[in-house]
Amino acid sequence: MVAQTPARAPARWRVGRLVERRVETPNAQTLVLELPDWPGHLPGQHVDVRLTAPDGYQAARSYSVAGPAVDGPGGPRIELTVQRVPDGEVSPYLIDVYREGDPVEVRGPLGGWFVWRPQETAPVLLVAGGSGVVPLMAMIRARRAAGSRVPFRLLYSVRTPADVIYADELRRRARDDLGLDVAYVYTREAPDGWRGEPHRIGLADVNNHGWPPDLEPLCYVCGPTGFVETAADLLVGLGHQTRRVKTERFGPTG
Amino acid sequence: MGIVSPGFQGRPRTAEPALPPGQYLTEDFPVLSAGPTPRVPLDTWEFVIATETGTEFRWTWDELMALPQETPTVDIHCVTHWSKLGTSWRGVSLDTLLEGVDTAADYAQAHSYGGYTTNLPLDDLRDGQAWVVHTYDGEPLPGEHGGPARLLVPHLYFWKSAKWVRGVRLTVEDEPGFWETAGYHDYGDPWREQRYQGD
């Protein structure tokens, strides 16, 4: 793998405000932040979010941006989707306490490797585990926004149907975004009428729903460490070149 | 101090030992990698130091194991904000490996199986500050954490501790590595919070 990202201007802390909140699943919400002088970002990039207590104590965590910035009346808006981490410090605040109009400090965009550029022409395979779908959804949304016709496939592993983030939008896009296929792996509980048993992602899933290696697709894998290790190993085992498999692993970053 | 977040208290302060700014404590061992984990067989593994004049010093796995071993216990700090305290490792000091390497270079670029690179001043590899480690917590270092062997440079952010390390190239000029080219800080001192370019 070779870094090909041009040097960027240093990112500084900006003050954003919450303008909208959407409940995605019982444990995940999307926060729409207004960031007046946001410089723009590439699909797949993330931001650092910093909270400050009255005594000056600070806590910062990284969150993927979920889609392209959009213009609002008060300037650009970006969306972050936050999964609640049990006993977490930042995610419970953002989900339970943080209110519309409240300020929050945001630094970014960050990360120049796990990105998809709309001018790319190779087919794309997205492999998501749980909330790892967020930066991959950013790529799906950016593809449509840019009018790209690059074939995209999303393979999305979730515990149960109720844990699918962006469920309605993915259903709609799978129908309307030409060239986008969406497939699911359920690890605990499958929907009624599903063929097969709940299982963890395996060779057959990646082989059936991915692209053959000779098409030289770009593969993006995002999720918890164990999931990413498994999925990336499967892709390499199927013959994908390691430099075409980009990964992002979620640690316990509550 | 930043802008106060209405209603935010944060974790109790008393439980937190001294951490670099912006870091939080974790008991887990999170993983940050840009691609699949390379699988490196020990019978073909080697570690190579190449000087600025092209001279190479090579060690096989067995030769590395035959060198004096050290057991550093150190705190590690990842740029993604987690810190882990008191991690215990076993490996060979870079002082041992650099003994007898004649060089006028000021910089080093570590390179890894899988293609990863990272750069740092050569002085930061000397004086008991850096190791090539193969054992973590008494067990062989797992692949996802950089096994069979990784660099350990705990006084810098952990991306400088190249996983799956296969060698160090000594250079006269500073040559940015993988994350350094992608917007991360060239040096990466956690106590000065040098996360990104311009920090």
**Cα(B59)–Cα(B52) distance, rounded to whole angstroms?**
18
- Contact at 8 Å (CB) between A131 and A188? no
**Cα(A244)–Cα(A224) distance, rounded to whole angstroms?**
20
What ipTM did this prediction achieve? 0.78
Confidence band, pLDDT 50/70/90 cuts, at residue B4:
very high
Give the pLDDT of residue A4: 37
- Put simply, the answer to whether A1 touches B35 (Cβ < 8 Å) is yes
Residue A232: pLDDT above 80?
Answer: yes
Picking from A19-28, A36-45, B22-31, B146-155, which range would have the lowest pLDDT averaged per residue?
Answer: B22-31
Residues of B in contact with A232 (CB under 8 A): 35-37
- Put simply, the answer to whether B183 touches A112 (Cβ < 8 Å) is yes
Residue B16: pLDDT above 90?
Answer: no
Q: b/e map of A75-107 (b: 16 or more CB within 10 Å)? A: ebbbbbbbbbbeebbbbbbbbeebeeeebbbbb
What is the nearest CA distance from A82 to chain B, expressed in angstroms?
Answer: 16
Q: b/e map of B113-129 (b: 16 or more CB within 10 Å)? A: bbbbbbbbebebbeeeb
Give the pLDDT of residue A10: 55
Q: b/e map of A110-134 (b: 16 or more CB within 10 Å)? A: bbbbbbbebeeeebbbbbbbbbbbb
**Cα(B117)–Cα(B163) distance, rounded to whole angstroms?**
9
Q: pTM of the prediction?
A: 0.88
**Cα(A156)–Cα(B181) distance, rounded to whole angstroms?**
31
* Structural domains of chain B, with CATH: 24-29+44-192 (3.90.420.10)
Give the pLDDT of residue B14: 59
- Calculate the CA B57 to chain-centre distance: 20
Q: What 3-state DSSP class applies to A5? A: coil
The strands making up A124-129's β-sheet, listed across from edge to edge, are A180-186, A152-158, A124-129, A218-224, A245-250
Give the pLDDT of residue A195: 86
Closest-CA residue of A relative to B11 is A89
* Residue (of B144, B44, B145) closest to B89 by Cα position: B145
**Cα(B124)–Cα(B137) distance, rounded to whole angstroms?**
24
Confidence band, pLDDT 50/70/90 cuts, at residue A6:
very low
Q: For residues B153-174, give the mean pLDDT.
A: 97
Q: Which of B8, B82, B144, B185 to mutate to test the interface with A (most CBs of A within 10 A)?
A: B8
Picking from A9-18, A54-63, B126-135, which range would have the lowest pLDDT averaged per residue?
Answer: A9-18
Confidence band, pLDDT 50/70/90 cuts, at residue A169:
very high
* Structural domains of chain A, with CATH: 13-110 (2.40.30.10), 124-250 (3.40.50.80)
Question: Looking at the complex, does the CB of residue B48 fall below 8 Å from at least one CB of chain A?
Answer: no
Q: For residues A226-242, give the mean pLDDT.
A: 94
What is the nearest CA distance from B127 to chain A, expressed in angstroms?
Answer: 31
Question: Looking at the complex, does the CB of residue B197 fall below 8 Å from at least one CB of chain A?
Answer: yes
C-alpha distance from residue B14 to each of A155, B11, B19, B35, B37 (Å): 44, 9, 12, 38, 38
